[in-house]
């Protein structure tokens, strides 16, 4: 503990008498603190060494359609590609940091051109590459929304507004500080994601299984997902570029 001199103590008392008491941390400061805690719980400094990833998984759509997916991504640029097969039908899509694209069952590649489509692809990229861990690299604002309950559980809730796309809300477990729920709007659809289990790969905590619910107008769709394999391996540049 520091020991002040008598003169400094007197000055401090005078300042207390004339200066209003400072308030507590702002919602932005609290949000930044919680995001730092989440990063520490998810791997800390090891996250900063990551470059790219590759994963595969099994999925179930609407509780009845079996599927599988494979995805690649770059934590530095937010570029990602996902290939999905459900009921024997394969589709794919991605974002290379500038261009959003999708390939339908007919094999035709379509480049997104509307601001809404590009913003939606950028949000997918932001979430897929967990860009919220690097706000200096991928600008966003964070604001603490307090302790809230959902599905019988209590969470620390942080509103995140990434640059150039739609806002999302991250729901953190107060005990582990890990992300366990997220909500948001992607253009005309709203979504809720629940992470049911995590696992550790090379010292990094990733999602092992989860459930996403998407609502678009009168339609509601669900998709459960379980990781089969995941690695932080090099990804060939062509995997993250729109197909030619």
- 176-194 pLDDT, tens digit each: 999 999 999 987 899 999 9
Domains of the chain, first to last: 24-240 (2.50.20.10)
Residue 8, SS3? Answer: helix
The series of mean pLDDT values per 10 residues for the chain, 244 residues long, is 35 38 86 98 98 98 97 97 97 93 95 89 96 97 98 97 97 98 92 98 98 96 98 96 88
Closest CA to 172 of 137, 190, 198: 198
Sequence-ordered strand ranges (E) for the chain:
52-61, 65-74, 80-86, 89-95, 100-103, 109-111, 140-150, 153-162, 168-172, 179-186, 189-201, 204-216, 219-231
- 135-154 pLDDT, tens digit each: 999 999 999 999 999 999 99
* pTM as predicted: 0.88
């Amino acid at each position: 503990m520091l020991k002040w001199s008598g003169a400094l103590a007197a000055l401090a008392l005078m300042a207390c008498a004339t200066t209003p008491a400072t308030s507590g941390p702002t919602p932005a400061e609290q949000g930044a603190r919680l995001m730092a805690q989440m990063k520490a719980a998810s791997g800390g400094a090891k996250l900063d060494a990551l470059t790219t990833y590759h994963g595969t998984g099994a999925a179930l759509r609407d509780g009845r359609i079996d599927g599988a997916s494979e995805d690649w991504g770059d934590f530095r640029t937010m570029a990602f590609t996902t290939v999905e097969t459900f009921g024997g039908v394969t589709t794919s899509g991605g974002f290379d940091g500038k261009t959003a694209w999708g390939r339908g069952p007919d094999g035709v590649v379509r480049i997104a051109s509307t601001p809404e489509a590009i913003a939606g692809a950028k949000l997918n990229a932001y979430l897929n590459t967990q860009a919220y861990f690097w706000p200096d690299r991928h600008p966003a604002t964070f604001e603490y929304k307090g302790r809230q309950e959902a599905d019988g559980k209590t969470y620390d809730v942080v509103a995140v507004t990434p640059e150039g796309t739609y806002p999302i809300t991250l729901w953190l477990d107060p005990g582990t500080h890990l992300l366990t729920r997220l909500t948001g709007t992607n253009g005309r659809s709203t979504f809720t994601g629940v992470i049911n289990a995590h696992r550790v790969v090379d010292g990094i905590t990733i999602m092992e299984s989860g459930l996403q619910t998407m609502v678009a107008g009168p339609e509601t769709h669900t998709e459960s997902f379980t990781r089969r394999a995941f690695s932080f391996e090099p990804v060939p540049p062509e995997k993250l570029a729109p197909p030619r």
